[in-house]
Structure 1
Amino acid sequence: MTSQEIFAEIQRKQSFLCVGLDPVWEKLPRHLHREEDPVYVFNRIIIDHTIDQAVAYKPNLAFYEAMGPGGLETLQKTLDYLPNNVFTIADAKRGDIGNTSGLYARAFFQQMNFDAVTVAPYMGRDSVTPFLEFEGKWVILLALTSNEGSQDFQMLTDEHHHALFERVLEKSKNWGSSENIMFVVGATQVSHLQSVRKIVPDHFLLVPGVGAQGGSLEEVARAGMNKRCGLLVNSSRGIIYASGAEDFGLAAKKEAQQLQISMEKLLNTYC
């Protein structure tokens, strides 16, 4: 998908919601345990109930890899179930030497047919560029994350008082363009979003941390939205675990609808 196609979907749904498909066996509604593939059924019901509000879905690979080979089969079935007009993100946080990165890229883009994959930039340009060689696919680079440990390295400053995350943005934006690179910026880092936008005004940002992690959707939109929205705001636990009972699909839909209503107002205000 191109950035214009993503924006067109945002306009059509009046939403910039990304739903994280991060299933945990212990949190699945008990009535699903009798299904042949409970996680797939769970994902399918979540998708059915949120597809009118979500423009993107983001499975975190760890939740599927932890289930062994069958987990990857479940993930592929989930991807195959998703319609073509939604943006799919492999939250894999890969990053390795060039040859290995090339194989990761082939796995996610050719074999599994994801639209995008999250990549760690720590090893530099040659570990990222293999992902950028696939036309129509996206790299989503970790820039400023929401976790507590982000302070350990990302906020370190040089002699010019530039934080490391700023140097990452400055350097990496030239490896590709706003048509194949996005950046992860956590919602709990909203005080730095204006700095991010000064460096990458036209790139899409994937923003986790709204809801369960305490990030403010309104503050994220105010500081981070550009003329084509430029945001994909992710919610995982707040939607998919809105209920642990048989009504979990309807509960997920209600949460997604509430977010969509807020997003529509923000789009009309800032975009």
Structure 2
Amino acid sequence: MNRSELVNQIKTKRTFLCVGLDTDLKKVPQHILKEEDPIFSFNKAIIDATADYCVAYKPNLAFYEAFGVKGLMAFEKTVKYLKENYPNHFIVADAKRGDIGNTSAMYARTFFEEYDVDSLTVAPYMGEDSVTPFLGYDGKWVIVLALTSNKGSHDFQLTEDKDGERLFEKVLKTSANWGNKDNMMYVVGATQGKMFEDIRRIVPEHFLLVPGVGAQGGSLEEVCKYGMNKECGLLVNSSRGIIYAANDETFAQTAAEKAKELMEQMDAELKKYGI
């Protein structure tokens, strides 16, 4: 999916919601565990219930790899189901890959050729040659970790050099030269608040993938105030707040209700900023 197609989906559907498919079999409703493939069955129900209210889905690979081959098969089935039934939804593989060049090239081949997802989260710590192999695929996106929501983000990301430049700022400035606004996004945690202003000064036009709204306490209104650009430029992710909103037979319907609530809030934000 290219940039214009993604922007068009946001404007048409009046939402920039990304639903995180962090499927944990310890948290799904008990009746789902009776299914032959409970991970896929849960995902399918969530997708069917929430598709009208979002533009993207983000399966987190850790929740699939934890179950070995069966988990990866469930991931593959989920991606295939999305592509066949909801082809206009953007698929983020949240795998946080990144290694020396030839290894990154194989990761890129895995996700962009074998699984054929739209985008992949990538860790930039090893530098340019660890990221550029992911950028060689037309219509695919690299989503670089920039400023995350977790408490430990302060350990490195906010450290300053002798000139007062913070590490996340150096990551943004340097990596922006590797790709462009049409093939690179950045992960910025919703809890970072006003620091979105600092990020937008460096990458005003890039899309930002924003986790942390909902269960992690991030404010959608604050994210939009400091992070939205003229084309929206945001994919705001919610995982636990949607997919685990109920733990019984009503889980899919309740997920739909939560996703709809966020969509309505997002529509209001889009209108507020003239989009």
What is the TM-score of this pair, normalised by structure 2?
Answer: 0.98
Q: Which amino acid aligns with 1:16?
A: F
1:178-224 Cα deviation digits (max 9, x unpaired): 00000000000112100000100000000000000000000000100
CA distance in 2, matches of 1:165, 1:190: 15
CA distance in 1, matches of 2:206, 2:143: 10
1:96-123 Cα deviation digits (max 9, x unpaired): 0000000000000000011000000000
CA distance in 1, matches of 2:231, 2:23: 31
Q: Which residue of 1 aligns with 2:193?
A: 190
Q: Residue 7 of structure 1 aligns to a residue in which SS?
A: helix
Q: Residue 72 of structure 2 aligns to a residue in which SS?
A: helix
Which of 91, 105, 112 in structure 1 is aligned with 2:94?
91
CA distance in 1, matches of 2:7, 2:137: 21
Q: Residue 58 of structure 2 aligns to a residue in which SS?
A: strand
Q: Which residue of 2 aligns with 1:112?
A: 115
CA distance in 2, matches of 1:93, 1:32: 28
Structure 1 stretches of 4+ moved >2 Å: none
Q: Residue 55 of structure 2 aligns to a residue in which SS?
A: strand
CA distance in 1, matches of 2:199, 2:250: 40
CA distance in 1, matches of 2:117, 2:100: 21
- Asked if residue 125 in structure 1 is aligned to residue 100 in structure 2, the reply is no
CA distance in 2, matches of 1:28, 1:202: 38
CA distance in 1, matches of 2:160, 2:32: 49
What pairs with 1:1-271 in structure 2 (closer than 5 Å)?
1-82=1-82, 83-270=86-273, 271=275
Structure 1 position 12, deviation (Å)? 1.2
CA distance in 1, matches of 2:238, 2:111: 22
CA distance in 1, matches of 2:112, 2:193: 31
Tell me the C-alpha RMSD between the 2 structures: 0.6
Structure 1 position 159, deviation (Å)? 1.5
Q: Which amino acid aligns with 2:48?
A: D
CA distance in 2, matches of 1:122, 1:39: 32
1:46-69 Cα deviation digits (max 9, x unpaired): 000100011000000000000110
Q: Residue 233 of structure 1 aligns to a residue in which SS?
A: strand
CA distance in 2, matches of 1:36, 1:173: 45
CA distance in 2, matches of 1:153, 1:84: 38
Structure 1 position 248, deviation (Å)? 0.2
CA distance in 1, matches of 2:164, 2:66: 41
Structure 1 position 230, deviation (Å)? 0.1
CA distance in 1, matches of 2:227, 2:60: 24
Q: Percent identity?
A: 59
Q: Residue 70 of structure 1 aligns to a residue in which SS?
A: helix
The number of aligned residues is: 271
Q: Which amino acid aligns with 2:223?
A: V
CA distance in 2, matches of 1:57, 1:32: 20
Structure 1 portions without partners, runs of 5+: none
